Amino acid sequence: MEITVENEELSLKKRRQFSLSENMVESQQQLLPTNLAVFSGRRTSPLCAFASSILFIYVCGIGFYLWSSNFACRLRNFGDPAPVSLSSLAFDIEQRDRYVIIKNYIKPAIHADEKNTMTFATAAIFTDLSHMPEICGKWQGPMSVSVYAPGSDFKTALRKIFNLRLANSCIHQNVSWHLYFDTEFSPSWRKIKSPEEEAELTTTTSGSYDVWIKGTFKSHGHLPFPPTLAEMLRSKKSKTKYVLVSDLHYYPSINIIPRFLELLKFKGPTGE
């Protein structure tokens, strides 16, 4: 009897122990997932989800804004039924790194015969443009000029270009103009208007035009002339097979295009 009682007691103890240890295991097993749940449920989710959703909305918003403004710009350029002057026909806006380029912003009045000529390509700031009449007169062919015009230089450059076009028939007929600037000094490029409107030729009030009258915006802001971009722009935008990439400080020789094309045909005294 005693033995059995003792046995029973023992077995009870064992059971208790067993059940205790079972309980412990259970509690440990329960502890782990609840801990995990706390981690994933309370710590990461609200913060991370909130931040990522904000970021997502932000990125989407920017993307949509860029897309829609670009679209609107193109729509306005292509879909305008009213007769527009040559210069304000479709132009392309492109962003490269921190620069924005408006390609073919002002177009030449005549189309060059692309096979029998070559293009003079250059990049400059508007103060260099005073060399243009002389260079165009010597070149007598299509020219592609990219003007670096950040901030208020944009309007000044456009006015200068319009003056040159008015005064010089060679420039009017043969030069296509591209303008580029830093995104942070851009003349609200997301809604760029026609060059005439941007230059405010139609209105008499000139607003900020006189602000940098002594020097350029570029020089006041100590902005470097972007060399690699200038290099790229110089060589890219022409339709002709041959391009002379140059500076506005070098004048081409008179009648150089036909002479150069003659040279290409020349095969040497043996005719090879």
Ligand X SMILES: *[C@@H]1O[C@H](CO)[C@@H](O)[C@H](O)[C@H]1NC(C)=O
Residue 232 C-beta: closest distance to ligand X, Å: 24
| Interface with ligand X: number of residues (CB under 6 A) | 9
Binding flags for ligand X, 130-149, as an x/- string (CB under 6 A) = ----------xxx-------
**Binds ligand X (CB under 6 A): choice among 117, 119, 176, 194:** 117
> Does 151 contact ligand X by CB under 6 A?
no
Q: What's the rounded Cα separation, in Å, for the pair 212 and 119?
A: 33
> Does 252 contact ligand X by CB under 6 A?
no
Say if residue 235 is exposed, middle or buried (CB neighbours under 10 Å; 0-12, 13-18, 19+). middle
Name the nearest CA neighbour of 153 among 71, 222, 213, 65.
213
Q: What is the C-alpha radius of gyration for the chain, rounded to an integer number of angstroms?
A: 36
Residue 259 C-beta: closest distance to ligand X, Å: 14
- 101 versus 257: smaller Cβ distance to ligand X: 257
- 163 versus 173: smaller Cβ distance to ligand X: 173
List Cβ neighbours of 187 (8 Å cut-off, separation of 6 or more): 151, 154, 155, 181, 198
Q: Beta partners for 177?
A: 106, 145
Residue 141 C-beta: closest distance to ligand X, Å: 5
List Cβ neighbours of 218 (8 Å cut-off, separation of 6 or more): 125, 148, 150, 151, 153, 225
Which of the residues 167 through 186 are near ligand X (CB under 6 A)? 169-170, 173-174
Residues at the contact surface with ligand X, assessed by CB under 6 A: 112, 117, 140-142, 169-170, 173-174
